[in-house]
């Protein structure tokens, strides 16, 4: 029995060593910095903005254009994108009454807003911008509190059917950091200081919106044809 | 004794594998090591949840339970009793049954194999085998209450 006792003691030592090693590995994985980050305040090149004025949906002939300045990590933008936009899409965009332009306005306090915007921009390269855009907003509660949102965005990209090699290359290169910064700067110049902010004509509308208010606004600007 | 020690060590390894998969699932760690896409496909599928819970979290709870029972089974009193071994056999049997179900989903429904899940499957089967050997030793050897 004495030999068994010493054997058990040795076993506990080995078990404790394995436990410490395992905890160390998990701690390292939890604490290591993100491998993908999109820098702010990058120098904007001409190529970042040439021909790009935001992501657009709706008819080019629509009488009214609404530009939304939004941040993927902003809860109000999320509510707007998931609850109000489907109504606007059905009643105003698909009917040709408005054209919707989405501009990135990643706020400094939101750690993943710029990364999210960049993920959507990389999806745009493959013609899946709005798909990725919607997945990012719908999953906001999933990634917003995560330590590293990049793999979650990558999973959305996979679900959207993107070529992941191209997506990864785009993300790692930070290819659209300048475009996002340019969009942000433009918003600042226009007087945007919070999200979501809508630009209709030359007027800014800040705060929470519901689809009814926007439909009324559009009705007043471009009355429905009878 | 050696079987129960093996069960404890294997349970600890299983606990780390499950914890790793769970932390990945909730976005607390980056991409999976050695991930060739299979794990990500499995983890993002609707079958990564069971009865409203993350499967990997069920794994964490299961392996923690097995580790606890194995450690209790090594204590001076329980080490000579049969019940800890019986409990270990029952729990690991449930684990194997759940693993068979998950492996079926991977092979025939999700059509993707996660290497870490295979690792966990090997571990739970190994725990079941040592629990079975421990059970046999106790039933064939000296009968202890």
Establish if B15 belongs to a structural domain. yes
Q: Are residues A91 and A183 in the same domain?
A: yes
Predicted local confidence at residue B142, as pLDDT: 52
Q: What domain count does chain A have?
A: 2
Range of the domain at B119: 2-26+34-140
Establish if A155 belongs to a structural domain. yes
Q: Are residues A131 and A177 in the same domain?
A: yes
Establish if B18 belongs to a structural domain. yes
User: What residues of B are in the A interface, CB distance below 8 Å?
Assistant: 1, 5, 8-9, 12-13, 15-16, 19-20, 23-24, 26-31, 37, 40-41, 44, 74
Any CB–CB contact under 8 A between A142 and chain B?
yes
Whether residue A199 contacts residue A67, with contact meaning beta carbons closer than 8 Å, is answered with yes
DSSP assignment of A49-106: HTT---EEES-TT-SEEEEEEE-TT-HHHHHIIIIIHHHHIIIIITTTSEEEEEEE--
For an interface test with B, the pick among A17, A115, A151, A164 (most B C-beta atoms closer than 10 Å) comes out as: A151
Asked if A26 and B23 come within 8 Å (Cβ–Cβ), the reply is yes
Q: Are residues A115 and A15 in the same domain?
A: no
Q: Kindly report the CATH number assigned to the domain that includes residue B20.
A: 1.20.1440.130
- Residues B34-52 pLDDT 10s: 544 567 678 777 888 888 8
Q: Measure in Å the smallest separation between the Cα of B24 and chain A Cα atoms.
A: 9
Tokens found for residue A24: 């160390």
Asked if A143 and B23 come within 8 Å (Cβ–Cβ), the reply is no
Contacts of A154 in chain B (CB under 8 A): 31, 40
Q: Are residues A100 and A178 in the same domain?
A: yes
Q: Could you tell me the CA-to-CA distances from A164 to A39, A148, A200, B94 in Å, in that order? A: 22, 18, 36, 37
DSSP assignment of B121-140: HHHHHHHHHHHHHHHHHHHH
Establish if B145 belongs to a structural domain. no
For chain A, 226 residues long, give each residue's pLDDT as a single digit of tens.
Answer: 444 677 888 899 999 999 999 999 988 888 765 556 777 777 788 877 787 899 999 999 999 999 999 999 999 999 999 999 999 999 999 999 999 999 999 988 888 999 999 999 999 999 999 999 999 999 999 999 887 899 899 999 999 999 999 999 999 889 999 999 999 999 999 999 889 999 998 899 987 778 999 999 999 988 776 5
Whether residue A59 contacts residue A94, with contact meaning beta carbons closer than 8 Å, is answered with no
H-run or E-run covering A205: strand A203-206
Asked if A29 and B23 come within 8 Å (Cβ–Cβ), the reply is yes
Establish if A38 belongs to a structural domain. no
User: What mean pLDDT comes out for the span B118-139?
Assistant: 93
- Residues B62-92 pLDDT 10s: 999 999 999 999 888 887 788 888 999 999 9
Euclidean distance between CA atoms A24 and B129, whole angstroms: 29
Range of the domain at A195: 46-221
Contacts of A119 in chain B (CB under 8 A): none
Q: What's the whole-model pTM score?
A: 0.57
């Amino acid at each position: 029995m004495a030999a068994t006792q010493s054997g058990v003691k040795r076993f506990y030592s080995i078990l404790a060593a394995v436990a410490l090693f395992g905890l160390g590995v998990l701690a390292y994985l939890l604490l290591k910095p993100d491998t993908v980050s999109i820098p702010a305040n990058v120098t904007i090149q001409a190529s970042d903005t040439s021909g790009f004025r935001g992501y657009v949906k709706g008819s080019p002939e629509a009488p009214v254009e609404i530009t939304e300045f939004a941040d993927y990590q902003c809860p109000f933008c999320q509510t707007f994108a998931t609850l109000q936009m489907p109504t606007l899409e059905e009643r105003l965009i698909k009917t040709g009454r408005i054209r919707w332009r989405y501009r990135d306005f990643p706020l400094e306090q939101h750690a993943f807003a710029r990364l999210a915007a960049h993920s959507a921009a990389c999806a745009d390269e493959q013609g899946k911008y709005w798909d990725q855009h919607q997945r990012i907003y719908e999953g906001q509660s999933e990634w917003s509190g995560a330590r590293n949102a990049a793999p979650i965005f990558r999973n959305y990209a996979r679900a959207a059917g993107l070529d992941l090699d191209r997506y990864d290359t785009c993300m790692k290169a930070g290819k659209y950091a300048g475009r996002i910064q340019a969009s942000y700067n433009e918003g600042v110049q226009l007087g945007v200081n919070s999200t979501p902010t809508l630009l209709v004509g030359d007027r800014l509308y800040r705060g929470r919106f519901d689809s009814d208010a926007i439909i009324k606004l559009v009705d007043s600007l471009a009355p429905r044809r009878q | 004794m050696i079987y129960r020690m093996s069960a404890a060590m294997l349970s600890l390894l299983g606990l780390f594998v499950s914890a790793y998969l769970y932390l990945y699932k909730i976005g607390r760690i980056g991409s999976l090591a050695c991930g060739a896409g299979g794990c990500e496909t499995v983890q993002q599928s609707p079958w990564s949840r069971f009865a409203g819970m993350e499967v990997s979290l069920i794994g964490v709870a299961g392996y923690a339970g097995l580790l606890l029972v194995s450690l209790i089974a090594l204590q001076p009193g329980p080490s000579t009793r049969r019940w800890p071994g019986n409990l270990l056999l029952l729990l690991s049997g449930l684990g194997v049954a759940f693993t068979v179900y998950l492996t079926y989903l991977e092979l025939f429904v999700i059509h993707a194999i996660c290497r870490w899940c295979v690792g966990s499957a090997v571990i739970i089967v190994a725990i079941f085998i040592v629990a079975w050997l421990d059970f046999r030793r106790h039933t064939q050897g000296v009968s202890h209450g």
